[in-house]
Amino acid sequence: MTRVSLGIDLGTSGVKTVLLDEAGTAVGGASRSYPVAATRPGWAETDPALWEQAARDAVGETLAAAPGAEVLSVGLDGQMHGTVLVDDAGAAVRPAVLWPDARAADQLPRWRALPDALRVALGNPLTAGMPGPVLGWLAEHEPETLARADSFVLPKDWLRSRLVPGTPCTDGSDASATLLWDVSADAWAVEAAERVGVPVRLLPPLRAADETAGTVGSAVAAEWGLPAGIPVSIGCGDVAATLLGLGAEAHRTVLTVGTGAQLVLPGVRPEPADPVRHQLYRDAEDGWFAMGAVMNGGLALGRVIELLGADWDDLYRSYDTTAALPGFLPWFAGERLPEGIEAGTAGWFDVGLGTTRADLLASALEGVAFTVRRALEAMPPSAEVVDLVGGGTRSPVFNQLLADVLHRPLRRLGQRDATVLGAARLGWRTAGRDPEPPPGGSTELVEPRTSEHLDARYARFLRHPAAP
C-alpha cells in the first residue's frame, strides 16, 4: 500500500483533489465544476451544498483510480474572501457570497470613514467582495438572515465541517483577507467591525492551518469513501496553499499568469501602509506575504483575440519590439491596485493609417505586460529573479516580453496544480509528517533584454489619462 495524504482545493468554480505520497509525488487526482449564480447584476453566489457534492464526487473518483493507496490524512484549501453564514449546527443559512460579488459597494463609505488608525491597520484595499463589507450589507439588508446565523466562516471552513463537525473556526490566511483583521495587532479588528455595523459575535476563533480539526467519523467515512479516524487539517486560503505547493522562497516574487495575474511575495513584514498599494495576508505558517492582483491577464488577451478574429498562435507570434506600435489599455475588467481603474476603459490608442492587425495584437501583449509591471512596482523590494507559473506562461514570446518589460530574469517553474498539492502537504503535516520538498524549478532563466522602445511605450502607457 502507498501511504498518501488527500488534498482538496475548493475553488470559485470547481474543486480539485490529489493524492500525495511521502516522496512528494502526486499519485492521482480529479476535478469537478459547479456554477456561480448571478441572481442579480453584480452578485456572485454558490449554494455550499454544491461544493460538498462536487468534492465528494471528486474524492470518490480519485480514490477509485488508486486502489493501492492508503489515505492517512486530509488537507484543505479554498477560495479566499467568500462569506458563509452558518447556524449553531453548522448548516449554511443562505448561499455563500463570493469574492467577485459587488453588492456591498454601498458599504465602503463606512470603511473609508473609519478613523485613520483603524482603517490603516486593516492593511488591505477596501473591496466590496470581502467578508467585512458583505457582512455589513447583510446586516443592513437581510437582518433576519443574520439573526439565524451563529458564525461566519470561509468556504474551506464550511467544507471542512462536512468532514469533521465542530465549532466553526478559520485560519490566519483566510482571516487576514476579510477586511476584519487588524494586521498590526494580528487579531480581529473588533473596534473597526463595531463601527461599520458588523456583529462581532459572528467572528470565528482562529486555529493554525496545519492543526488537526478532528478525525473523520464512521458515518462520514462511509459517505466519502474515506478511512474512519484519519485527521483533517484546519486548512488555509488558496494563495497560501500555492506557496506551500511550490515550496516558494522568502523574498522571491512568484508571478502567476492565467485569467488574471498575481504577484505574490512571501516573507514580508506585516507593515500596513497608507495609501494601500498591495494586499497583505498571513501565510499557512507563521509568516506574511504581499500580493498584487492584476484582473486583466488572459481575460483581456482572450477578448482581443475575439475582437480581431485571431487565435493564440497569431497573438504569440514573434514581433520586432523596436518597431513603432500603438498603445493598448487592457482594462476590460476594473483594476483595484495600485490605484483603481474603472472597468470598460480598454482599447487601443495612437492608431494610425499604417497600423496593422499584427501591430494591434503585439500592442495588446505589451499592454498586459505593462499592467503586470505597474503592479510589480507597487510591491515591496524582492530578489531579482521572479518565479513564473500558470497556464499563461506557455508562450516563449510572452515570457521574453515579460522579462524585458519587468527588467527581471524569469525562472519558469514546472510545478502544476501547486495549490491542491499545498493542501495535501497540510494534510501530511496534520498527520505529523512532511513529504519530500517539491521539485525545484528549471535552472534555465529567461534573461531580460534592454529595450528603450519598450520603456518609452511603458512611460506612454502610464501617461494615458485612463492610467492613474
Q: Are 5 and 428 in contact (CB under 8 A)?
A: yes
**Could you tell me which residues come within 8 angstroms of residue 82 by beta carbon, excluding any fewer than 6 positions away?**
96, 97, 98, 99, 131, 154, 155
Distance from C-alpha of 66 to C-alpha of 274, rounded to nearest angstrom: 51
- Residue 443: what pLDDT? 63
Q: Is 87 part of a structural domain of the chain?
A: yes
Domain count, the chain: 1
- Residue 339: what pLDDT? 87
Paired residues of 279 in beta bridges: 291
Q: What is the mean pLDDT of each run of 10 residues along the chain (468 residues)?
A: 95 96 93 94 95 98 95 97 95 95 94 96 94 97 96 98 96 98 96 97 97 97 97 97 94 92 96 93 96 92 96 96 95 87 92 97 98 96 93 89 97 87 96 79 82 96 88
Distance from C-alpha of 233 to C-alpha of 437, rounded to nearest angstrom: 19
Q: Is 409 part of a structural domain of the chain?
A: no
Q: Is 112 part of a structural domain of the chain?
A: yes
Distance from C-alpha of 24 to C-alpha of 19, rounded to nearest angstrom: 10
- Residue 435: what pLDDT? 81
Distance from C-alpha of 118 to C-alpha of 124, rounded to nearest angstrom: 12
Say what the pTM is. 0.93
Compute how many other C-beta atoms are within 10 angstroms of the C-beta atom of residue 434: 12
Distance from C-alpha of 422 to C-alpha of 244, rounded to nearest angstrom: 5
- Residue 444: what pLDDT? 75
**Could you tell me which residues come within 8 angstroms of residue 231 by beta carbon, excluding any fewer than 6 positions away?**
73, 74, 212, 213, 214, 215, 427, 430, 431
CA angle, 454 as apex, 453 and 457 as ends, to 5°?
Answer: 90
Q: Is 9 part of a structural domain of the chain?
A: yes
User: For 367, how many CA atoms within 13 A lie in the half-sphere containing its CB?
Assistant: 31
Compute how many other C-beta atoms are within 10 angstroms of the C-beta atom of residue 419: 24
Report the amino acid identity of residue 376. L
What the block records as the C-alpha cell of 232 is: 483533517
What the block records as the C-alpha cell of 38 is: 448571478
Show the domain range for 163. 2-239
- Residue 410: what pLDDT? 96
Report the CATH number that the domain containing residue 88 is assigned in CATH: 3.30.420.40
Q: Is 343 part of a structural domain of the chain?
A: no
Distance from C-alpha of 359 to C-alpha of 30, rounded to nearest angstrom: 41
Backbone angles phi, psi at 276, to 5 degrees: -75, 130
Distance from C-alpha of 372 to C-alpha of 253, rounded to nearest angstrom: 12
Q: Is 287 part of a structural domain of the chain?
A: no
Q: Is 162 part of a structural domain of the chain?
A: yes
- Residue 455: what pLDDT? 97
Helix, strand, or coil here: 377? coil
Q: Is 349 part of a structural domain of the chain?
A: no
Distance from C-alpha of 160 to C-alpha of 233, rounded to nearest angstrom: 8
